[in-house]
Amino acid sequence: MKKRSSSKSLRLALAQLSVGDDKEANINKAISFITKAKEKGADIITLPECFNSPYGTDHFPKYAETIPKGETCIALADAAKRNEIYVIGGTIPEKDGDKYYNTCTVWNPKGELVAKHRKVHLFDIDIKDKITFRESDILSPGETLNTFEVKNCKIGLGICYDIRFEEMAKLYRKQGCSMLIYPAAFNMTTGPLHWSLLQRSRANDNQLYVACVSPARAGGPGYIAWGHTMLTSPWGEVLAELDAIEDMIVKDIDLKVIDEVRSQIPIFNQRRKDLYDTLWLKS
């Protein structure tokens, strides 16, 4: 196992997984990557959006489970505890009563659920002759922002379409976040246009690290993910990017860079809050 990162850094793993129709196989693959991340000395691993299920409104009810007692959660909790690692469990379709959500869970090295984020902004788009998709046909939106901490690094959670809403990222910065992580599955239309642009924008706007973790690209019918799992620095620099196939990034995150950027370009102290501000209105 590689040497652990210092208190001023943490080692982050981003797993770009191939996802098929077999839920058990999808879960087992995720567990194998959690083990590989630990072997590489990672403090935390992030899985992709909808890693236990094909992505699509017709699939969500079939693959949905309760949190934290569903089979996927039980497997993630066990893997986190066994490997003594933080696990951001990508997302899974969640069933809660008669509602469904696209939900990210976070497990600490004791196997405890420490955060749960339901996708706030549902993916409803209609690009002529390209792609039409409506998550709201089956899913309900989340109502909260959610954070947790690993080795003095406060991390804000979003899911895919959430990254398009800069106010949400700004609120996380105001809450003291040093990193934003978005399990995400952009498509073959929006991926080439906006995937890198949005991540670099959120990182640059808020002077923090941003990671987006996609499923690997699959062939055949149905929703096709862009892939290109990516990590961006507080300078807006792309530190690592995968192609479209199944693979994993393992990278040390230097937390000192955040203070350097924010002191050298102090935009948050220069904001004209007498003229404008970004507010969370939910009580």
- Residues annotated as catalytic are 49, 119, 160
Tally the residues of the chain: 283
Distance CA 91, CA 50 (A): 5
The candidate with the shortest Cα–Cα distance to 160, out of 183, 128, 192, is 183
* DSSP assignment string, 2-67: PPPP-TTEEEEEEEE----S-HHHHHHHHHHHHHHHHHTT-SEEEPPTTTTS-SSTTTHHHH-B-T
Residue 210: alpha-carbon gap to chain centroid? 9
Helix (H) or strand (E) holding 171: helix 166-174
CA distances from 133 to 43, 126, 217 (A): 35, 7, 18
| In contact, 108 and 114? CB cutoff 8 Å | yes
Amino acid at position 179, single letter? M
Contacts of 85 (CB under 8 A, 6+ apart): 34, 37, 38, 42, 43, 44, 45, 109
Contact 60, 139 (CB under 8 A): yes
What is the distance in angstroms between the CA of the first residue and the CA of the last residue of the chain?
45
Cα dist from 69 to 65, 95, 134, whole Å: 8, 11, 28
